[in-house]
Structure 1
Amino acid sequence: MPFIMNGFATLVLLVLWRVEEIAEACSCSPVHPQQAFCNADVVIRAKVVGGKEVDSGNDIYGNPIKRIQYDIKQIKMFKGPDRHIDMVFTAPSSAVCGVSLDTNDKKEYLISGKAESNGKMHVTLCDLIMPWDSMSATQKKSLSQRYEMGCDCKITRCAAFPCETTADAECLWTDWVTEKLIHGRQSNHYACIKRADGSCAWYRGAAPPKKEFLDIEDP
Protein backbone atom coordinates (compact mmCIF):
# COMPACT_ATOMS: atom_id res chain seq x y z
CA MET A 1 0.00 0.00 0.00
CA PRO A 2 2.72 2.58 0.76
CA PHE A 3 4.23 1.82 -2.64
CA ILE A 4 0.85 2.42 -4.31
CA MET A 5 0.33 5.65 -2.41
CA ASN A 6 3.81 6.82 -3.27
CA GLY A 7 3.18 6.02 -6.92
CA PHE A 8 -0.14 7.85 -6.79
CA ALA A 9 1.48 10.86 -5.16
CA THR A 10 4.18 10.86 -7.82
CA LEU A 11 1.51 10.70 -10.53
CA VAL A 12 -0.36 13.64 -8.98
CA LEU A 13 2.83 15.66 -8.82
CA LEU A 14 3.61 14.87 -12.44
CA VAL A 15 0.10 15.87 -13.52
CA LEU A 16 0.29 19.11 -11.53
CA TRP A 17 3.74 19.82 -12.97
CA ARG A 18 2.44 19.23 -16.49
CA VAL A 19 -0.59 21.50 -15.91
CA GLU A 20 1.70 24.21 -14.55
CA GLU A 21 4.06 23.76 -17.50
CA ILE A 22 1.20 24.16 -19.98
CA ALA A 23 -0.22 27.14 -18.11
CA GLU A 24 3.15 28.85 -18.19
CA ALA A 25 4.06 27.71 -21.70
CA CYS A 26 3.33 31.16 -23.13
CA SER A 27 4.71 33.92 -20.96
CA CYS A 28 5.45 37.37 -22.38
CA SER A 29 7.06 40.29 -20.62
CA PRO A 30 5.20 43.56 -21.22
CA VAL A 31 6.89 45.73 -23.84
CA HIS A 32 6.28 49.27 -25.04
CA PRO A 33 4.90 49.34 -28.63
CA GLN A 34 8.12 51.00 -29.80
CA GLN A 35 10.22 48.17 -28.34
CA ALA A 36 7.96 45.62 -30.03
CA PHE A 37 8.37 47.50 -33.33
CA CYS A 38 12.15 47.54 -33.00
CA ASN A 39 12.29 43.83 -32.08
CA ALA A 40 10.16 42.74 -35.06
CA ASP A 41 11.40 41.72 -38.51
CA VAL A 42 8.11 42.73 -40.13
CA VAL A 43 5.47 45.32 -39.19
CA ILE A 44 2.43 45.71 -41.44
CA ARG A 45 -1.13 46.97 -41.56
CA ALA A 46 -3.41 44.30 -42.99
CA LYS A 47 -6.82 42.70 -43.23
CA VAL A 48 -7.20 38.99 -42.48
CA VAL A 49 -9.35 37.34 -45.17
CA GLY A 50 -9.12 33.66 -44.25
CA GLY A 51 -7.65 31.12 -41.87
CA LYS A 52 -7.08 27.37 -41.68
CA GLU A 53 -5.00 24.77 -39.84
CA VAL A 54 -2.09 23.41 -41.86
CA ASP A 55 0.76 20.94 -41.40
CA SER A 56 4.20 22.49 -41.02
CA GLY A 57 6.58 19.56 -41.12
CA ASN A 58 7.24 17.07 -38.31
CA ASP A 59 8.82 17.27 -34.89
CA ILE A 60 11.83 15.15 -33.84
CA TYR A 61 9.48 12.24 -33.04
CA GLY A 62 7.83 12.28 -36.45
CA ASN A 63 4.59 13.89 -35.26
CA PRO A 64 3.05 16.53 -37.55
CA ILE A 65 3.45 20.14 -36.44
CA LYS A 66 0.22 22.07 -36.77
CA ARG A 67 0.02 25.81 -37.39
CA ILE A 68 -2.74 28.26 -38.23
CA GLN A 69 -2.33 29.94 -41.60
CA TYR A 70 -3.98 33.34 -41.98
CA ASP A 71 -4.35 34.74 -45.48
CA ILE A 72 -4.04 38.51 -45.43
CA LYS A 73 -4.42 41.59 -47.61
CA GLN A 74 -1.46 43.82 -46.85
CA ILE A 75 -2.39 47.49 -46.75
CA LYS A 76 0.95 49.00 -45.79
CA MET A 77 4.39 47.79 -44.72
CA PHE A 78 6.15 49.87 -42.06
CA LYS A 79 9.11 47.54 -41.65
CA GLY A 80 10.20 44.39 -43.43
CA PRO A 81 11.49 42.76 -46.61
CA ASP A 82 11.04 44.24 -50.07
CA ARG A 83 8.14 42.00 -50.96
CA HIS A 84 4.45 41.64 -50.29
CA ILE A 85 3.35 39.59 -47.27
CA ASP A 86 0.31 37.44 -48.06
CA MET A 87 0.39 34.81 -45.29
CA VAL A 88 0.80 34.94 -41.52
CA PHE A 89 1.44 31.78 -39.48
CA THR A 90 0.93 31.20 -35.78
CA ALA A 91 0.76 28.32 -33.28
CA PRO A 92 -2.58 26.47 -33.03
CA SER A 93 -3.49 27.63 -29.50
CA SER A 94 -2.83 30.43 -27.04
CA ALA A 95 -1.18 27.92 -24.68
CA VAL A 96 1.74 27.84 -27.09
CA CYS A 97 1.54 31.56 -27.91
CA GLY A 98 -0.82 31.22 -30.87
CA VAL A 99 -2.73 34.33 -31.96
CA SER A 100 -6.44 34.41 -32.84
CA LEU A 101 -7.38 36.90 -35.58
CA ASP A 102 -10.76 37.89 -37.00
CA THR A 103 -11.17 36.62 -40.57
CA ASN A 104 -14.26 38.57 -41.68
CA ASP A 105 -12.26 40.76 -44.12
CA LYS A 106 -13.44 43.93 -42.36
CA LYS A 107 -11.16 44.33 -39.36
CA GLU A 108 -7.73 45.85 -39.94
CA TYR A 109 -4.77 44.98 -37.74
CA LEU A 110 -1.30 46.20 -37.03
CA ILE A 111 0.70 42.95 -37.16
CA SER A 112 4.35 42.55 -36.18
CA GLY A 113 6.38 39.35 -36.19
CA LYS A 114 9.29 37.37 -37.56
CA ALA A 115 10.05 37.06 -41.27
CA GLU A 116 9.78 33.70 -43.04
CA SER A 117 10.58 32.79 -46.62
CA ASN A 118 8.26 33.16 -49.61
CA GLY A 119 6.35 36.20 -48.37
CA LYS A 120 5.32 34.71 -45.04
CA MET A 121 5.69 35.73 -41.41
CA HIS A 122 5.21 34.08 -38.01
CA VAL A 123 3.47 35.80 -35.10
CA THR A 124 2.99 35.01 -31.40
CA LEU A 125 1.13 36.50 -28.45
CA CYS A 126 4.39 38.24 -27.51
CA ASP A 127 4.39 40.26 -30.75
CA LEU A 128 2.65 43.61 -31.19
CA ILE A 129 -0.74 42.80 -32.74
CA MET A 130 -3.49 45.40 -32.36
CA PRO A 131 -6.77 46.27 -34.10
CA TRP A 132 -5.91 49.32 -36.20
CA ASP A 133 -8.90 51.27 -34.88
CA SER A 134 -7.73 50.80 -31.28
CA MET A 135 -4.39 52.54 -31.88
CA SER A 136 -3.82 56.15 -30.91
CA ALA A 137 -2.99 58.78 -33.53
CA THR A 138 0.52 59.06 -32.06
CA GLN A 139 1.12 55.31 -32.35
CA LYS A 140 0.05 55.33 -35.99
CA LYS A 141 2.32 58.27 -36.84
CA SER A 142 5.23 56.77 -34.92
CA LEU A 143 5.20 53.64 -37.09
CA SER A 144 6.50 55.65 -40.06
CA GLN A 145 9.45 57.39 -38.42
CA ARG A 146 9.58 58.00 -34.68
CA TYR A 147 9.80 54.43 -33.41
CA GLU A 148 12.66 53.61 -35.76
CA MET A 149 14.54 56.73 -34.62
CA GLY A 150 14.65 55.26 -31.12
CA CYS A 151 15.61 51.66 -31.87
CA ASP A 152 19.08 52.34 -30.46
CA CYS A 153 17.47 53.39 -27.18
CA LYS A 154 16.48 51.04 -24.37
CA ILE A 155 13.00 51.24 -22.86
CA THR A 156 13.02 49.95 -19.28
CA ARG A 157 9.74 49.10 -17.56
CA CYS A 158 9.36 50.38 -14.02
CA ALA A 159 7.44 47.73 -12.04
CA ALA A 160 7.59 49.51 -8.67
CA PHE A 161 8.96 52.74 -7.25
CA PRO A 162 11.72 53.67 -6.74
CA CYS A 163 13.17 53.01 -10.18
CA GLU A 164 15.63 54.91 -12.31
CA THR A 165 17.53 54.70 -15.57
CA THR A 166 20.99 53.16 -15.54
CA ALA A 167 22.28 54.69 -18.80
CA ASP A 168 21.82 57.87 -20.82
CA ALA A 169 20.46 55.95 -23.83
CA GLU A 170 17.46 54.72 -21.84
CA CYS A 171 13.84 55.78 -21.24
CA LEU A 172 11.94 54.76 -18.11
CA TRP A 173 8.49 53.32 -18.85
CA THR A 174 6.30 54.11 -15.82
CA ASP A 175 2.74 53.42 -17.02
CA TRP A 176 2.28 50.53 -14.59
CA VAL A 177 3.31 52.38 -11.44
CA THR A 178 1.59 55.67 -12.33
CA GLU A 179 -1.64 54.38 -13.90
CA LYS A 180 -1.75 50.66 -13.04
CA LEU A 181 -1.94 50.01 -16.78
CA ILE A 182 0.48 48.26 -19.09
CA HIS A 183 -0.61 50.50 -21.95
CA GLY A 184 -1.08 53.94 -20.46
CA ARG A 185 -0.01 57.46 -21.43
CA GLN A 186 3.59 56.65 -22.37
CA SER A 187 2.58 53.58 -24.34
CA ASN A 188 -0.17 55.38 -26.26
CA HIS A 189 1.32 58.83 -26.79
CA TYR A 190 5.12 58.79 -26.48
CA ALA A 191 8.18 57.51 -28.31
CA CYS A 192 11.69 57.17 -26.89
CA ILE A 193 13.94 59.16 -29.23
CA LYS A 194 17.72 59.33 -29.43
CA ARG A 195 18.93 62.91 -29.06
CA ALA A 196 21.86 64.69 -30.70
CA ASP A 197 24.09 64.09 -27.68
CA GLY A 198 23.50 60.32 -27.78
CA SER A 199 21.10 60.22 -24.83
CA CYS A 200 17.44 59.20 -25.12
CA ALA A 201 14.25 60.85 -23.87
CA TRP A 202 10.49 60.54 -24.27
CA TYR A 203 8.99 62.59 -27.08
CA ARG A 204 5.42 63.58 -27.80
CA GLY A 205 4.63 65.95 -30.65
CA ALA A 206 2.39 66.51 -33.64
CA ALA A 207 5.34 66.90 -36.01
CA PRO A 208 8.32 64.54 -36.48
CA PRO A 209 11.13 65.24 -33.97
CA LYS A 210 13.69 67.83 -34.96
CA LYS A 211 17.10 66.49 -35.88
CA GLU A 212 18.65 68.47 -33.05
CA PHE A 213 15.96 67.32 -30.57
CA LEU A 214 17.12 67.94 -27.03
CA ASP A 215 14.05 67.65 -24.83
CA ILE A 216 10.47 66.53 -24.59
CA GLU A 217 7.97 68.60 -26.61
CA ASP A 218 4.21 68.69 -26.45
CA PRO A 219 1.88 69.79 -29.22
Structure 2
Amino acid sequence: MTWTMNSCFVTLAVLFLWRVEDMAEACSCSPAHPQEAFCSSDVVIRAKAVGWQEVDAGNDVYGNPIKRIKYDIKQMKMFKGPSQDIDAIYTAPSSAMCGVTLETNGKKEYLITGKVEKDGLMHVTLCDFIKPWEAMSPIQKKSLMQRYETGCDCKIARCSSIPCMISGPMECLWTDWVTDKQVNGDQAQHYACIKRSDDSCAWYRGAAPPTKYFLDIEDP
Protein backbone atom coordinates (compact mmCIF):
# COMPACT_ATOMS: atom_id res chain seq x y z
CA MET A 1 0.00 0.00 0.00
CA THR A 2 2.82 2.39 0.91
CA TRP A 3 4.66 1.62 -2.34
CA THR A 4 1.48 2.34 -4.34
CA MET A 5 0.95 5.68 -2.61
CA ASN A 6 4.57 6.67 -3.13
CA SER A 7 4.35 5.67 -6.78
CA CYS A 8 1.23 7.78 -7.26
CA PHE A 9 2.92 10.72 -5.54
CA VAL A 10 5.97 10.48 -7.81
CA THR A 11 3.74 10.25 -10.88
CA LEU A 12 1.76 13.32 -9.83
CA ALA A 13 4.98 15.21 -9.09
CA VAL A 14 6.36 14.41 -12.53
CA LEU A 15 3.11 15.46 -14.21
CA PHE A 16 3.15 18.69 -12.21
CA LEU A 17 6.71 19.46 -13.30
CA TRP A 18 5.81 18.75 -16.91
CA ARG A 19 2.88 21.13 -16.59
CA VAL A 20 5.10 23.84 -15.08
CA GLU A 21 7.61 23.39 -17.90
CA ASP A 22 4.82 23.61 -20.49
CA MET A 23 3.55 26.80 -18.91
CA ALA A 24 7.06 28.27 -18.79
CA GLU A 25 7.63 27.47 -22.45
CA ALA A 26 4.23 28.72 -23.64
CA CYS A 27 4.25 31.83 -25.81
CA SER A 28 1.82 34.54 -24.79
CA CYS A 29 1.54 38.20 -25.71
CA SER A 30 -1.03 40.96 -25.67
CA PRO A 31 -2.88 41.65 -28.94
CA ALA A 32 -1.80 44.77 -30.80
CA HIS A 33 -3.63 47.01 -33.22
CA PRO A 34 -1.77 47.14 -36.58
CA GLN A 35 -0.87 50.75 -35.89
CA GLU A 36 0.68 49.81 -32.54
CA ALA A 37 2.65 47.05 -34.24
CA PHE A 38 3.87 49.49 -36.90
CA CYS A 39 4.93 52.14 -34.41
CA SER A 40 6.71 49.77 -32.01
CA SER A 41 8.62 47.83 -34.70
CA ASP A 42 12.08 48.59 -36.04
CA VAL A 43 11.24 47.11 -39.44
CA VAL A 44 7.98 46.78 -41.39
CA ILE A 45 8.19 45.09 -44.78
CA ARG A 46 6.17 43.34 -47.44
CA ALA A 47 8.04 40.18 -48.38
CA LYS A 48 7.85 36.50 -49.21
CA ALA A 49 9.95 33.63 -47.85
CA VAL A 50 11.95 31.71 -50.46
CA GLY A 51 13.84 29.27 -48.22
CA TRP A 52 14.79 28.38 -44.66
CA GLN A 53 17.41 26.60 -42.57
CA GLU A 54 18.19 25.95 -38.92
CA VAL A 55 21.25 27.87 -37.75
CA ASP A 56 23.32 28.18 -34.58
CA ALA A 57 22.87 31.39 -32.61
CA GLY A 58 25.50 30.97 -29.90
CA ASN A 59 25.01 29.45 -26.45
CA ASP A 60 22.77 30.23 -23.52
CA VAL A 61 24.03 31.01 -20.00
CA TYR A 62 24.41 27.27 -19.31
CA GLY A 63 26.48 26.66 -22.41
CA ASN A 64 23.70 24.96 -24.35
CA PRO A 65 23.52 25.77 -28.07
CA ILE A 66 20.76 28.12 -29.19
CA LYS A 67 19.02 27.29 -32.44
CA ARG A 68 17.20 29.72 -34.72
CA ILE A 69 15.28 29.40 -37.95
CA LYS A 70 16.63 31.62 -40.68
CA TYR A 71 14.17 32.52 -43.42
CA ASP A 72 15.62 33.77 -46.68
CA ILE A 73 13.20 36.38 -47.97
CA LYS A 74 12.57 38.48 -51.03
CA GLN A 75 11.58 41.97 -49.98
CA MET A 76 8.83 43.54 -52.06
CA LYS A 77 8.58 46.88 -50.20
CA MET A 78 9.89 48.46 -47.02
CA PHE A 79 7.48 50.67 -45.08
CA LYS A 80 9.82 51.25 -42.14
CA GLY A 81 13.40 50.26 -41.47
CA PRO A 82 17.04 50.64 -42.50
CA SER A 83 18.22 51.96 -45.84
CA GLN A 84 19.30 48.54 -47.12
CA ASP A 85 16.93 45.71 -48.09
CA ILE A 86 16.23 42.88 -45.66
CA ASP A 87 17.24 39.52 -47.15
CA ALA A 88 16.73 37.27 -44.10
CA ILE A 89 14.76 37.14 -40.86
CA TYR A 90 15.35 35.00 -37.78
CA THR A 91 12.91 33.37 -35.38
CA ALA A 92 12.78 30.73 -32.64
CA PRO A 93 12.53 27.08 -33.77
CA SER A 94 9.08 26.38 -32.24
CA SER A 95 5.80 28.16 -31.58
CA ALA A 96 6.16 27.37 -27.85
CA MET A 97 9.20 29.67 -27.94
CA CYS A 98 7.28 32.28 -29.99
CA GLY A 99 8.75 31.07 -33.28
CA VAL A 100 7.01 32.06 -36.51
CA THR A 101 6.20 29.66 -39.36
CA LEU A 102 6.14 31.03 -42.92
CA GLU A 103 5.42 29.34 -46.23
CA THR A 104 8.64 29.14 -48.22
CA ASN A 105 7.38 28.38 -51.71
CA GLY A 106 8.00 31.98 -52.76
CA LYS A 107 4.35 32.52 -53.65
CA LYS A 108 2.77 33.86 -50.46
CA GLU A 109 3.46 37.49 -49.58
CA TYR A 110 3.36 38.69 -45.98
CA LEU A 111 3.35 41.92 -44.06
CA ILE A 112 6.12 41.34 -41.53
CA THR A 113 7.00 43.52 -38.54
CA GLY A 114 9.99 42.84 -36.33
CA LYS A 115 12.94 44.08 -34.32
CA VAL A 116 16.61 44.61 -35.16
CA GLU A 117 18.58 42.95 -32.35
CA LYS A 118 22.12 43.63 -31.15
CA ASP A 119 23.46 41.33 -33.85
CA GLY A 120 22.09 43.74 -36.46
CA LEU A 121 19.69 41.12 -37.83
CA MET A 122 15.90 41.22 -38.06
CA HIS A 123 14.17 38.93 -35.56
CA VAL A 124 10.45 38.11 -35.45
CA THR A 125 8.17 36.37 -32.96
CA LEU A 126 4.51 35.39 -32.73
CA CYS A 127 4.01 38.64 -30.82
CA ASP A 128 4.91 40.65 -33.91
CA PHE A 129 2.25 41.55 -36.47
CA ILE A 130 2.74 39.08 -39.33
CA LYS A 131 -0.12 38.61 -41.74
CA PRO A 132 -0.62 37.35 -45.32
CA TRP A 133 -0.68 40.40 -47.58
CA GLU A 134 -3.88 39.21 -49.27
CA ALA A 135 -5.64 39.19 -45.88
CA MET A 136 -4.84 42.85 -45.24
CA SER A 137 -7.72 45.28 -45.74
CA PRO A 138 -7.34 48.13 -48.28
CA ILE A 139 -7.27 50.66 -45.43
CA GLN A 140 -4.52 48.74 -43.61
CA LYS A 141 -2.42 48.67 -46.77
CA LYS A 142 -3.01 52.38 -47.33
CA SER A 143 -2.20 53.24 -43.71
CA LEU A 144 1.22 51.60 -43.93
CA MET A 145 2.36 54.31 -46.34
CA GLN A 146 1.92 57.24 -43.95
CA ARG A 147 -1.16 57.21 -41.75
CA TYR A 148 0.01 54.83 -39.02
CA GLU A 149 3.25 56.79 -38.68
CA THR A 150 1.41 60.09 -38.17
CA GLY A 151 -0.36 58.54 -35.17
CA CYS A 152 2.68 57.10 -33.40
CA ASP A 153 2.47 59.82 -30.74
CA CYS A 154 -1.04 58.63 -29.89
CA LYS A 155 -1.82 55.72 -27.61
CA ILE A 156 -4.32 52.95 -28.37
CA ALA A 157 -6.06 51.74 -25.19
CA ARG A 158 -7.37 48.17 -25.38
CA CYS A 159 -10.87 47.51 -24.03
CA SER A 160 -11.37 43.87 -23.06
CA SER A 161 -14.57 44.26 -21.03
CA ILE A 162 -17.21 46.87 -20.31
CA PRO A 163 -16.93 49.45 -18.80
CA CYS A 164 -13.70 50.90 -20.16
CA MET A 165 -12.57 54.40 -20.99
CA ILE A 166 -9.60 56.45 -22.08
CA SER A 167 -7.44 58.21 -19.50
CA GLY A 168 -6.51 61.24 -21.58
CA PRO A 169 -7.00 63.07 -24.90
CA MET A 170 -4.01 61.34 -26.51
CA GLU A 171 -5.73 57.93 -26.39
CA CYS A 172 -8.08 56.07 -28.73
CA LEU A 173 -10.24 53.32 -27.24
CA TRP A 174 -9.87 50.01 -29.11
CA THR A 175 -13.09 48.04 -28.60
CA ASP A 176 -12.88 45.24 -31.22
CA TRP A 177 -12.67 42.51 -28.57
CA VAL A 178 -15.92 43.74 -27.01
CA THR A 179 -17.90 44.64 -30.14
CA ASP A 180 -16.65 42.04 -32.65
CA LYS A 181 -15.39 39.34 -30.23
CA GLN A 182 -12.06 39.27 -32.08
CA VAL A 183 -8.82 41.22 -32.32
CA ASN A 184 -9.01 41.68 -36.09
CA GLY A 185 -12.28 43.60 -35.96
CA ASP A 186 -13.61 46.77 -37.57
CA GLN A 187 -11.21 49.18 -35.85
CA ALA A 188 -8.18 47.02 -36.60
CA GLN A 189 -9.12 46.67 -40.26
CA HIS A 190 -10.49 50.12 -41.09
CA TYR A 191 -9.27 52.73 -38.58
CA ALA A 192 -6.13 54.57 -37.53
CA CYS A 193 -5.65 56.63 -34.36
CA ILE A 194 -4.52 60.05 -35.63
CA LYS A 195 -3.50 63.27 -33.91
CA ARG A 196 -5.85 66.18 -34.61
CA SER A 197 -5.04 69.87 -34.90
CA ASP A 198 -5.66 70.40 -31.16
CA ASP A 199 -3.12 67.63 -30.33
CA SER A 200 -5.83 65.24 -29.18
CA CYS A 201 -6.12 61.82 -30.85
CA ALA A 202 -9.16 60.21 -32.46
CA TRP A 203 -10.06 57.31 -34.72
CA TYR A 204 -10.00 58.15 -38.41
CA ARG A 205 -11.56 56.06 -41.16
CA GLY A 206 -11.09 56.63 -44.86
CA ALA A 207 -8.73 56.19 -47.79
CA ALA A 208 -7.96 59.89 -48.22
CA PRO A 209 -5.64 61.81 -45.84
CA PRO A 210 -7.49 63.39 -42.89
CA THR A 211 -8.64 66.96 -43.28
CA LYS A 212 -7.05 69.49 -40.96
CA TYR A 213 -10.05 69.48 -38.63
CA PHE A 214 -11.30 65.93 -39.13
CA LEU A 215 -14.11 64.60 -36.97
CA ASP A 216 -13.81 61.43 -34.90
CA ILE A 217 -14.25 58.33 -37.15
CA GLU A 218 -15.17 60.44 -40.18
CA ASP A 219 -15.34 58.63 -43.49
CA PRO A 220 -14.83 61.12 -46.32
TM range (shorter): over 0.9
Q: 1:78 to 1:11 in 2, by over 3 A?
A: same
Aligned partners of 1:12 and 1:108: how far apart in 2? 42
Report the alpha carbon displacement of residue 8 of structure 1 after superposing the two structures with TM.
4.8
RMSD: 1.8
Q: Aligned match of 2:20 in 13, 17, 20?
A: 17
Letter in structure 2 aligned against 1:101? L
Per the alignment, residue 169 of structure 1 pairs with: 170
Q: Per-residue deviation at 1:211?
A: 4.0
> Which residue number corresponds to residue 116 of structure 2?
115
Number of residues paired by the alignment? 217
Deviates more, 1:48-57 or 1:10-19: 10-19
Superposed counterparts of 1:17-166, under 5 Å? 17-22=20-25, 25-116=26-117, 120-166=121-167
Partners of 2:110 and 2:138 in 1: CA distance:
15
- Are the counterparts in 2 of residues 190 and 202 from structure 1 also a CA contact under 8 Å? yes
Check the 8 A contact 1:51/1:69 in 2, yes or no: yes
Q: How big is each residue's C-alpha offset from its partner over 1:145-203, in whole Å with a ceiling of 9 and x where there is no partner?
A: 11011111110111111111111000000111111111111000000001111110000
What stretches of structure 1 of length at least 5 have no aligned partner? Answer: none
> Is residue 175–residue 187 contact of structure 1 (8 Å, CA) maintained in 2?
yes
Give the conservation status (yes or no) of the 8 Å contact 1:83–1:119.
no
- Equivalent pair of 1:85/1:119 in contact (CA under 8 Å): no
Tell me whether 54-63 or 110-119 shows the greater mean CA deviation: 110-119
SS in 2 for 1:60: coil
How many angstroms apart in 2 are the aligned matches of 1:28 and 1:12?
26
The alignment's TM-score, normalised by the length of structure 2, stands at: 0.92
How much does 1:208 deviate?
1.4
